[in-house]
């Protein structure tokens, strides 16, 4: 198998070029051809010496993921399903807005965290994506859309690692991918416009702050350990106090002066005014606790229901009352608009459904059963 150059960040590509006996700066040219111009063959790279192109051809390739399907939503959202082999597929979603184009990227096939409200979590874990598979989603979306829209300037301005999988449980593949996204010779995405979303892998939040400090979103979903243990099982390993401390430390290096907390609104589960007040108290503890306040933005996500969850979305009135309590306490709070729900591209609906339908037996044999508690007992 030839080496896939989508696997390397610029530093790694420089080392690779050196290992082939080439000068390091050739890597910059090569990197720009691949990521800025979307080249997938060495023939296109006309400013590289013919001898170098022949050398590269015999050792490596630029191999993106294969597309299984594409769906276009009425609201302009586009969802691609990519084949990652072994019967697995991952999804990537492009969300156009007036002032930005956001790409939502997957980091794993399935997810091992098993949050009760997430269809990827219900699917279970298949495997980590490689760096090439993560970067490939951006490479493909950017260059496909650029040629479709006949634009020479960048299409993807913002990236959220909010597709399938827990990015911080695939750390070693994630970091080079983030570096390629951030590189001026790659996609030139600013650190403020690149968001890693995590269910709270505490030690990796700290490492991310050292290795690639980008914007951080933390999936909170519950303001106390009893409830969070049930909704986000990883909380048993990294409870809220540790998560809070990791967030406070991260702010010292973060490109934004707040942490975004995502909170999925689940009817009768985590959506009472008492829960909202608990969030306020968690962010701004009483002075006697000697904890510093945690600057935060809360993003309330209307739950996208799916049958196996046994859960329902909170009513619009409940979401409004919940957000009003937070706003009255001075906490910046937004309610996320649902995009692309006619094509199942909304949060938590990313479960490789096309493949599910064609490959049900295979999928069922892999599915991890997550015991669901009755809704009453989740309160």
Let me know if 347 is a catalytic residue.
yes
Least distance CB 118 / ligand SAH (angstroms): 3
Catalytic choice (91, 166, 262, 353): 91
Answer for which of 64, 114, 223, 302 binds ligand SF4 (CB under 6 A) is 114
Least distance CB 264 / ligand SAH (angstroms): 4
Answer for which of 165, 186, 209, 352 binds ligand SF4 (CB under 6 A) is 165
Separation between Cα atoms, residue 231 and residue 20, nearest integer Å: 50
Separation between Cα atoms, residue 223 and residue 278, nearest integer Å: 6
What part of residues 189-218 is at the interface with ligand SF4 (CB under 6 A)? Answer: 199
Establish if 120 lies at the interface with ligand SF4 (CB under 6 A).
Answer: yes
Tokens 């096939």, located at residue:
109
3-state class (DSSP) for residue 71 = strand
Q: Which of 220, 331, 323, 333 is nearest to 273 (CA)?
A: 323
Separation between Cα atoms, residue 137 and residue 77, nearest integer Å: 15
Least distance CB 163 / ligand SAH (angstroms): 6
3-state class (DSSP) for residue 215 = strand
CA 198 to chain centre: 8
Least distance CB 90 / ligand SF4 (angstroms): 11
Answer for which of 5, 30, 52, 115 binds ligand SF4 (CB under 6 A) is 115
Separation between Cα atoms, residue 159 and residue 179, nearest integer Å: 13
Let me know if 91 is a catalytic residue.
yes
What value, to the nearest 5°, has the Cα angle with vertex 372 and ends 279 and 125?
Answer: 90
Compare residues 147 and 334 and give the one whose CB is closer to ligand SAH. Answer: 334
What's the alpha-carbon Rg for the chain, to the nearest Å? 21
Binding site residues, ligand SAH, CB under 6 A: 117-118, 162, 166, 197-199, 219, 262, 264, 301, 303-304, 347-348
Establish if 92 lies at the interface with ligand SF4 (CB under 6 A).
Answer: no
Q: Which residues are identified as catalytic?
A: 91, 347
Residues that bind ligand SF4 (CB under 6 A): 111, 113-115, 118, 120-121, 165-166, 199, 219
């Amino acid at each position: 198998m030839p080496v896939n150059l989508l696997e390397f960040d610029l530093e790694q590509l420089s080392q690779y070029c050196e290992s082939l006996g080439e000068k390091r700066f050739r890597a910059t040219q090569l990197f720009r051809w691949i990521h800025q111009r979307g080249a997938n063959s060495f023939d296109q790279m006309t400013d590289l010496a013919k001898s170098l192109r022949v050398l590269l051809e015999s050792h490596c390739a630029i191999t993106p993921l294969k597309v299984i399907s594409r769906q276009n939503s009425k609201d302009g959202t586009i969802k691609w399903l990519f084949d990652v082999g072994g019967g697995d597929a991952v999804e990537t979603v492009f969300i156009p807005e007036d002032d930005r184009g956001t790409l939502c990227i997957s980091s794993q096939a399935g997810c091992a965290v098993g949050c009760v409200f997430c269809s990827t979590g219900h699917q279970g874990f298949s495997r980590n994506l490689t760096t090439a598979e993560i970067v490939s989603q951006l490479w493909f979306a950017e260059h496909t859309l650029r040629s479709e829209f006949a634009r020479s300037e960048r299409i993807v301005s913002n990236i959220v690692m909010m597709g399938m999988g827990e990015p911080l449980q695939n750390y070693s593949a994630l970091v080079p991918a983030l570096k390629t996204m951030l590189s001026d010779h790659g996609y030139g995405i600013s650190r403020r416009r690149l968001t890693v979303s995590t269910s709270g892998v505490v030690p990796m939040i700290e490492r991310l702050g050292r290795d690639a400090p980008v914007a951080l979103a933390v999936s909170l979903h519950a303001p106390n350990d009893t409830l969070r243990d049930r909704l986000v099982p990883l909380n048993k390993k990294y409870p809220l106090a540790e998560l809070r401390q990791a967030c406070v430390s991260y702010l010292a290096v973060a490109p934004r002066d707040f942490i975004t907390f995502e909170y999925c609104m689940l009817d009768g589960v985590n959506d009472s005014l008492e829960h909202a007040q608990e969030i306020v108290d968690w962010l701004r503890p009483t002075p006697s606790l000697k904890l510093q306040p945690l600057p935060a933005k809360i993003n309330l996500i209307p739950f996208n229901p799916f049958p196996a969850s046994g859960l329902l979305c909170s009513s619009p009135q409940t979401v409004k009352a919940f957000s009003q309590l937070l706003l009255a306490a001075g906490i910046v709070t937004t309610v996320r608009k649902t995009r692309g729900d006619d094509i199942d591209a909304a949060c938590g609906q990313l479960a490789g459904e096309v493949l599910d339908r064609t490959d049900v037996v295979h999928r069922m044999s892999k599915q991890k059963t997550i015991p669901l508690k009755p809704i009453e007992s989740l309160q």
